[in-house]
Every structure is written in structure tokens, then in C-alpha cells.
Amino acid sequence: MKTIDDLLADGVSGKRVFVRADLNVPLDGTTITDDGRIRAVAPTIARLAEAGARVIVASHLGRPKGAPDPAFSLAPAAERLGDVLGRPVAFAADTVGDAAKSVTAALADGEVAVLENLRFNPGETSKDDAERGAFADELAALADVYVGDGFGAVHRKHASVFDLPARLPHAAGDLIATEVGVLKKLTEDVARPYAVVLGGAKVSDKLGVIDNLLGKADRILIGGGMAYTFLKAQGHEVGISLLQEDQVPVVQEYLKRAEAQGVEFVLPVDVLVAPEFPDLKTKAPANPTTVAADAIPADQEGLDIGPETRKLYAEKLADAATVFWNGPMGVFEHPDYAEGTRAVARALVDSPAFSVVGGGDSAAAVRTLGFDENAFGHISTGGGASLEYLEGKTLPGLAALED
């Protein structure tokens, strides 16, 4: 896999370099609430621009239905990218139309432009190879070289991720090179003890990871909404908590396999419960009650791990040499249910382990709760991509960058 260093050695001055970035940032209207992904890709863009490349940045944002939708415009991300880079960034109001052609043609050496949302075009996400290929052809006409640096999208077989690299000389950006290097530390010659913390809403989202890590991890800590399916699998009442009843037999099988393979599953011993989900807009006091994990009332919903579980999880992480964390421990967006997630983040900060925060809500939680990103070994920009890599799957966007 070629890298930015290889491109710079060959020279990029005057060349149109298409950078497939991941600017899929959370928005409140037009206000960016977490610019982590923009800051993560900025060094690649800066290196290319400083070397005289004419940089064309493209990304998706959200899930528009293959047509323009102002709610998903990349204009705020383009503006923020300019702030981060400390240089002007032009913005094209379409992706491959007249605006894109005009803006990219006007670029001088060292200048940067951002195209409008790739997913405003049906060809980007089409399952039809010909339709996707046709869109990739239009993108390829804008550039001379391709740089893949949108790690958060490399698990998608999309035109700009999978088909476009085949049409241009290509290389991996610094962000992707870093992400892959980190993931190899989690899958090849891992420093032990190796602890994995999994949270989030649905256990079904993490089954592939659990299946693959049962032979690799030393202990797996479970929190978030998915914990209640595990508690149900142990025969406990979970009240009106989030539950995937159809996954209970699968979870029971995993618990048996873990015991047979010497992998320690660590589940909550107490939880915070309330009769209803909290209001995340007003963040009005929720007044939760702490109960034992095997004593959840039938009319209550579990919304965070309890204080004894926080202590237990901190103890289980204290001696780890490697930790991978994906998914919050509770509804961290509400202050009454943020302490479980805060406790895990604090345990990683205090631990000497090589700690990887696996993107998505976990990365957002770390920033929302005020932790210094540099206190962790790595904060990934791609939750889904990280999980699929750890499942052992081939990621289309990485395969496309191989020589």
C-alpha cells in the first residue's frame, strides 16, 4: 500500500489530488458539535497543499437519499476545515456538476476545495456496479491522483471508496495508515492482558466482534443497552430495558464458549434505573435509582452502570496492557447517566495500557465529557470500520488501496 510519503517523493506540485476524507461530523442545525474527524484528516490535506498539490476533498455526511438535501450539506464542514488548516477552502455546491468542475479547475498550486456531499448522488452508494462505476468515472475526471484517508468509510463498497482508486494512481493518507497500524496492534502480537470494553445500544452490532475476540481477548467487559440482553441470558429480570430477545440464545452460547476458552466476561453488578428514558434536550433531572443487576424492577429501565460496576470495571482495566473500547456504558448525553462512561474513560486515562477508543459514540463521549484526547493511545475516527476490522472482515476501501 503506497503512502503519502511515496506521493511526495514522486512530487505532487501542480497535480489535482482527490482526497476521500471523512467529514461526517455531527451537526446541530449548521453548528458542528464535534470536529474530531475534521482535525484528524487535516494533516494529510495540509501536507499535500504545502507540497503544491491542488487538493480536492470529498466526503459524505449523514444519510441523504441520493439527492441534494440542505440538512446534510458539507458547507459547515468546509468552513471548519479552513479554520483548522488556517487557509482558505473553496466550496463547490455540487459534487460532479458545473460548480465542481469550475471550482476544481480554478484551483492554483497549494489550494484546497471541498465538494458537496457525495451521497447527494445515487451512484455513490449504489449496489449496481455499473451505476457506481459511472459515478466514479465522473469523480476521476476531476483529478490526477487519489488519496484514501476517510477511515470511517473504508468498510463501505461505495464509488468514492472502492471504485475510484482503481481509476487513478492511489495511496493511503496518514490517517488511514495510522488507523491500520493501531488495529494491527489489536490483532497481531497483542500485549497482554488484553481487555475489551463493549457498550452501546444493540448487542447484534457487536456479535461479530465478540465472536472473533473470544479467541484473542483475555477479558470482555459489557455495558450500555446491550448489557441487558446479557443479563437476560443469565436469567435475570431486565424490566423495560433495551433488550434484543432474539439474541439471547446467541449470547448464552457466547458465555459458554468464553468459559470454555478461559475468556472472562464481566457484566454489570448494579445499574441505574428509571421508569422512563431521560429528556436529552432539556436534560431535566432524571432522579435514577441504583439497584442490583439481578434485581431490576419490572417497570424500570436500565440506563447506566452503577457505582459498584464502575469500581469493578476500573479494577479489571487497571492491569491491562492493551484495551479496546467501543460503545458508551449508558446514556452519557444526560448528566445523570454519564458516570459509567466517565468511569471507563478515567480508567483508561489512569491505566498504562495502550488504549484504543473505537470511534463513534465512544469518541464523542470522550470529548463531551472533557477528557484530553492525548491521554488515550488512539481515538479512532471509524467505529463501524474498526469493528469490522476486528471481526476479521476484508474492508473494501483498504483492499482498493493495495497495489
CA dist., res. 403 & res. 392, Å (int): 21
60 annotated ligand-binding residue: yes
212 annotated ligand-binding residue: no
The secondary structure of residue 3, as a DSSP letter, is B
Cell numbers found for residue 32: 458542528
Q: Where are the alpha helices (DSSP H) in 89-173?
A: 98-105, 122-125, 129-140
> Under a CB-based contact definition with an 8 Å cutoff, are residues 147 and 20 in contact?
yes
CA dist., res. 166 & res. 295, Å (int): 56
62 annotated ligand-binding residue: yes
Backbone φ and ψ for 253, nearest 5 degrees, come out as -65, -40
> Under a CB-based contact definition with an 8 Å cutoff, are residues 182 and 378 in contact?
yes
Cell numbers found for residue 277: 428514558
Active-site residues, by number, are: 37, 202, 360, 384
121 annotated ligand-binding residue: no
Single out the residue of 354, 357, 358 nearest to residue 383, CA to CA: 358
Q: Read off the amino acid at residue 211.
A: D
186 annotated ligand-binding residue: no
> Under a CB-based contact definition with an 8 Å cutoff, are residues 226 and 251 in contact?
no
403 annotated ligand-binding residue: no
> Under a CB-based contact definition with an 8 Å cutoff, are residues 21 and 61 in contact?
no
360 annotated ligand-binding residue: yes
Residues in CB range of 64: below 8 A, 6 or more apart: 71, 72, 117, 119, 120
374 annotated ligand-binding residue: no
340 annotated ligand-binding residue: no
> Under a CB-based contact definition with an 8 Å cutoff, are residues 320 and 313 in contact?
no
Using CA of residue 242, residue 243, residue 247, residue 253, what is the dihedral sign?
Answer: positive
74 annotated ligand-binding residue: no
Neighbours of 317 (CB within 10 A): 25
> Under a CB-based contact definition with an 8 Å cutoff, are residues 285 and 309 in contact?
no
372 annotated ligand-binding residue: no
Per residue, the 3-state secondary structure of 284-301, as one string, reads CCCCCEEEECCCCCCCCE
- For 392, what's the count of Cα atoms within 13 Å in the CB-facing half-sphere? 11
167 annotated ligand-binding residue: no
Neighbours of 156 (CB within 10 A): 20
Residues at the annotated binding site for (2R)-3-phosphoglycerate?
37, 119, 156
Residues at the annotated binding site?
22-24, 37, 60-63, 119, 156, 206, 302, 333, 359-362
Residues at the annotated binding site for substrate?
22-24, 37, 60-63, 119, 156
